Amino acid sequence: MNEFPLTARVMGQIRSEFPQFELRPKAGHRLSQGIDIALKLLTFGGQSTYLTEYHTVLGTTLFLPSAWADTSDVDRAILLRHERIHLLQRRRFTPLGMALLYLLPIVPVGLAYGRARLEWEAYTETLIATAELKSLSAARCPELRRRIVGRFTGPAYGWMWPFRKTVERWYDQVIQELERRDSISMELLESES
Ligand SMILES: [Zn+2]
């Protein structure tokens, strides 16, 4: 595990809060394969990388896509911090409440406000973690912004919030908040020295 010190640290934190938490590959997992087929149908083929690229919490298990094997320590840590938010949400809303918020609005596809709210909270943590573990400019990177905004407006989560402007405004507000925190901590550092 020494190759992955950042990952180990986040795993330790999650296990202290959720002792049952475990990681399992999606490959060879029946339910994940069933969900993959259902998503391909519901999104007309738009979500076709569920098994290869998407991390999914079911119960207290994080199911890993095949891309996990090639994911760096820092990116694993960022992903785990995102998924930790979903575990906390599940505790907050109960598993049934989570399922209702998350799954029911998939039919009809689109405008899934419950799911969008849950993902907004989790992707805010993705940006905080990116700024902390990589850099503020990594969180500001237009490619990352395009990719995360696309998760809300595109087929990956069933077009959960297809209003690009609203999603972009949310993203930019999180970045502004991170910039504000960054400048406060810089001022603190300067006043200490
Ligand atoms: Zn998520």
Distance from the alpha carbon of residue 86 to the mean position of ligand 1, in angstroms: 7
130 CA to middle of ligand 1, Å?
15
Give residue 79 CA to ligand 1 midpoint distance, Å: 9
Radius of gyration of the chain (CA): 17
Ligand 1 centroid from CA 122, angstroms = 6
Question: Is residue 102 predicted with pLDDT exceeding 70?
Answer: no
Q: Token digits for 129?
A: 């973690």
Q: Give 193 Cα–ligand 1 centroid separation in angstroms.
A: 40
pLDDT score of 78 more than 70: yes
Q: Supply the pLDDT for residue 75.
A: 96
Cβ contacts of residue 156 below 8 Å, gap of 6+?
Answer: 46, 47, 49, 54, 150
* CA 123 – ligand 1 centroid, Å: 7
Q: What pLDDT digit, counting tens, does each position of 38-71 carry? A: 878 877 777 788 888 888 888 889 999 988 999 9
The answer to whether the CB of 156 falls within 8 A of the CB of 46 is yes
How much distance in Å is there from the Cα of 179 to the middle of ligand 1? 23
Highest mean pLDDT among 34-38, 158-162, 169-173: 169-173
Q: What is the mean pLDDT of residues 74-89?
A: 95
Question: What is the distance in A from the centroid of ligand 1 to the CA of 182?
Answer: 25
Compute, in angstroms, the gap from residue 146 CA to the centroid of ligand 1. Answer: 16
Q: What average pLDDT score do residues 13-24 get?
A: 95
pLDDT at 104: 59
What is the average pLDDT value for the chain, to the nearest integer?
A: 87
pLDDT tens profile 107-131: 555 567 778 888 999 999 999 999 9
What percent of the chain has a predicted confidence (pLDDT) above 70? 93
Tell me the residue type at 187: E
pLDDT recorded at residue 48:
81
Per-residue pLDDT, 98 = 74
CA of 74 to the centre of ligand 1 (A): 17
Residue (of 133, 130, 162) closest to 145 by Cα position = 130
